[in-house]
Structure 1
Amino acid sequence: MSNVTTGGELIDCPENCERPTVRALPSQSKILGSGLPIVRHLPVREQRRIGPWCFLDHIGPTNLEADNGVDVGTHPHIGLQTVTWLFEGALLHKDSLGYEQVIRPGQLNLMTAGRGICHSEESPPGFSGPIHGLQFWIALPESDEDTDPAFAHHTDLPQWHLGDATVTLVVGELDGHRSPAQVFSPLVGAHIRAAGDTTLSLPVPASFELGICVNQGHARLEGTAMDTGSLYYLGQGRDEVTLELDDGADIMLLGGEPLGQPVLLWWNFVGRDQARIEAAISDWQSYPNDRFGAVDAYDGPPLKAPPLDPNIKLK
């Protein structure tokens, strides 16, 4: 998805919490495009990122009509990977590499922007019905910011049962399992769904900063009740996460090692310094070009980048 915020966040980044905590983060409700409701979990003033995860939108839940579906026009990205994961519905991805791919629940769309890519996201032709899911951005480490852009669609992801819960490893590594999705730093993104009241424990590296997004139902961590629709920051220092899940609870565990570098975000661009962001804005203004190729399959104008005042310094 495109970032609907028309400016950058000109605020200091809080220090990473190097000890375990359980802290609810405030979220912001927004409307994307012609009426798609989203909840922006990351970034927020209180927490800019969790490990390398620097952006998280909770899409829906809502119902779409065939004549008023998702339509996010062609827009660019640099310096990140997008992770799209649906609970209900379908989305159609089109990009400047020539890929056209419908994603459905249980499938992963992973787009690596690297030095530059652009894409659009739409409802498939004639689609109507519920839409509900998550989209994340993973910031790339400095050594991989200029990697070649790429796209991958995965339908066969590691899945196992713990008690009455099913764990699907979307990206990264967890509990001896590894996702086939290519990532560029140590991290985890796991979807956990309970089919009955259950308690489960998962080993995690103590070096990982962690978060839990409660998508549906009720969950508890270390005696703290976690509210539906909220993102919780867990800090670092745990070697195990123990969760109590009520029947029907649905959560996403995310985290990873902090990158140890600046991570600046302006519109749909991520980079370690402002010069990279400014260059991407300039290149996008002359779209299409060698950096941001045309998305020929999308029928509509590209989105415009908000201007960045040269007197403003991103933090």
Structure 2
Amino acid sequence: MSNLNDNGELVECPNQAGEPTLRPVTSRKSILGSGLPIIRHLPSRDQRLIGPWCFLDHIGPTSLSEENAVDVGTHPHTGLQTVTWLFEGALLHKDSLGYQQVIEPGQLNLMTAGHGICHSEESPPGFSGPMHGLQFWIALPAEHEDTEPAFAHHTDLPQWEQDGIHITLVVGELAGQASPAKVFSALVGADIQAPEGGSLTLPVPASFELGLCINEGSANLEGRMLDVGELYYLGQGREQLSLTLEPGSRVMLLGGEPLHQPVLLWWNFVGRDQERLEQALADWNRWPNNRFGDVAAYQGKPLSAPTLDPQVRLK
């Protein structure tokens, strides 16, 4: 989706790594578009990145009707991949490559922006009902920032049961499993559900920064209760992760190896230096443009980019 609620706020995204830790990330609640409640976990003032993950919106839970349907107009992206993962509801993706794809729970929409793409996101025609899910951005390594844009929809992701707990590997690698989704750095994104509750231990690479997003219920890590609606930063250096989940709990494990490069964020653009972001901004404002194209299937005007003061230096 679009980074709409920051209104052009200067947001720095330095790499963060270190020893194992456990602390909540300061998040912000806001309303997107015509009434979609979100919790913006990343970027935060106290946590810019977790591995290469630089943006995370927890969408809902809420109930939608035609009156408050999702309608995020055409907007651009560069230097990132978007990961859309729903627990309830449906979204319709349209992009400048010509793809139109409805996503439903258990399916993955993965859009690679690379050098530049634009897309829109809407409720499917006639949709009403519950909406709950996550949307992430993965910052691309410098050598892949200008890769060709792409879109993929995955319905057959690795799933397995461990100690009565259901795990779906959305992207990356975990416990000897690998998602078919194409990514450009070492990372993990795994949905962990415990309908009846239980405990499990997962092996994780010590080189990964890790985070846990508590989407339903509650979890216990290292004797500490983790509350629903929160994102927790776990740092780096663990070789395993031991969790106890209350019945009905659902958490997302995310993380990966730090990119060891600057990661700057302005509106919907990600890049390793400010000049790249300024160029993307200028290219988008030059409408119609050759870099991003247009979403011909979307019925509405493209979104306007916030102004970046040339005197301000992102860091």
* Fold similarity call, TM over 0.5: yes
Contact 2:211–2:254 under 8 Å retained in 1: yes
Amino acid at match of 2:10: E
Aligned to 1:97: 97
Do the aligned partners of residues 79 and 126 (structure 1) sit closer, same or farther apart at CA in structure 2, a change above 3 Å counting? Answer: same
Q: 1:36 is matched by which residue type in structure 2?
A: L
C-alpha change, 1:219 and 1:2, in structure 2 (3 Å) is same
Query: Residue 190 of structure 2 contacts residue 254 of structure 2 at CA under 8 Å; is this kept in 1?
Result: yes
- The amino acid that maps onto 1:46 is D
Check the 8 A contact 2:17/2:258 in 1, yes or no. Answer: no
Using the alignment, how far apart are the partners of 2:11 and 2:65 within structure 1? Answer: 37
How far has the Cα of 1:193 moved from its partner?
0.3
How far off its partner does 1:67 sit? 3.1
Deviations 1:38-90 (A, max 9, x none): 00000001000100000000001111112320000000000000000000000
Q: Which residue of 2 aligns with 1:178?
A: 178
Counterpart in the other structure of 1:7: 8
> Are 1:216 and 1:229, in contact at CA under 8 Å, matched by a contact in 2?
yes
Distance 2:11 2:183 in 1: 28
Structure 2 contact 11–264 (Cα < 8 Å) conserved: no
Q: Which residue of 1 aligns with 2:127?
A: 127
Tell me if the contact between 1:94 and 1:297 (Cα under 8 Å) persists in the aligned partners. yes
1:89-168 mapped onto 2 (5 Å cutoff): 89-168=89-168
For 2:234 and 2:306, how far apart are their aligned partners in 1?
A: 33
**Alignment check: 8 A CA contact 2:13 2:262 kept:** no
Matches within 5 A, 1:210-221: 210-221=210-221
Report if aligned partners of 1:214, 1:228 keep a CA contact under 8 Å in 2.
yes
Contact 1:287 1:294 (C-alpha < 8 Å) held by counterparts: no
Give the Cα–Cα distance (whole angstroms) in 2 for the partners of residues 117 and 197 of structure 1.
41
Q: Which amino acid aligns with 1:277?
A: L
Instruction: Write out aligned runs for 1:242-257 (5 A).
Output: 242-257=242-257
Cα distance in 2, alignment partners of residues 32 and 68 from structure 1: 10
Aligned-partner Cα distance in 2 for 1:151–1:96: 10
Counting only pairs closer than 5 Å after superposition, residues 36-55 of structure 1 correspond to structure 2 as 36-55=36-55
Give the Cα–Cα distance (whole angstroms) in 2 for the partners of residues 17 and 178 of structure 1.
24
- TM-score norm. by structure 1 comes to 0.98
How many percent of aligned residue pairs carry the same amino acid? 69
Following TM superposition, by how much is the alpha carbon of 1:289 offset from its aligned partner in structure 2, in angstroms? 2.1
**What's the RMSD between the two structures over aligned residues?**
1.0
Q: What is the DSSP-based 3-state SS (H/G/I as helix, E as strand, rest coil) of the residue aligned with 1:67? A: helix
Post-superposition CA distance 1:179-238 (Å, at most 9, x none) = 000000000000000021211011010000000000000101111110000000000000
The letter for the 2-side match of 1:45 is R
Return the TM-score normalized by structure 2: 0.98
Task: Return structure 1 stretches of 4+ with deviation > 3 angstroms.
Answer: 10-13
Q: Which amino acid aligns with 1:51?
A: G
- The answer on whether the counterparts of 2:69 and 2:123 sit within 8 Å (CA) in structure 1 is yes
Aligned equivalents of 1:247, 1:129: Cα separation in 2: 24
- The residue type paired with residue 26 of structure 2 is P
Query: Hey, what does 1:235 align to over in structure 2?
Result: 235
Instruction: Spell out, residue by residue over 1:237-270, the C-alpha distance to the aligned partner (whole angstroms, 9 max, x if none).
Output: 0010010011111000000000000000000000
* Partner of residue 261, structure 1: 261
Q: Which segment drifts farther, 299-308 or 195-204? A: 195-204
1:70 touches 1:122 (CA, 8 Å); kept in 2?
yes
Query: What is the rounded CA distance, in whole Å, between the counterparts of 2:92 and 2:280 in structure 1?
Result: 25
The corresponding residue for 1:200 is 200
User: Cα gap change, 1:202/1:10 in structure 2, threshold over 3 Å: closer, same or farther?
Assistant: closer
**Contact 2:213/2:229 (<8 A) preserved:** yes
Q: Note the residue ranges of structure 2 that are not aligned, 5 or more in a row.
A: none
Preserved contact between residue 52 and residue 258 of structure 1 (Cα < 8 Å): yes
Q: What is the letter of the counterpart of residue 140 of structure 2?
A: L
Report the CA distance between 1:172 and its aligned residue. 0.1
Is 1:74 aligned to 2:99, yes or no?
no
Asked if the contact 1:186–1:256 (Cα under 8 Å) also holds between the matched residues in 2, the reply is yes
Instruction: Point out where structure 1 has 5 or more consecutive residues left out of the alignment.
Output: none
Q: State the secondary structure of the residue aligned to 2:101.
A: strand
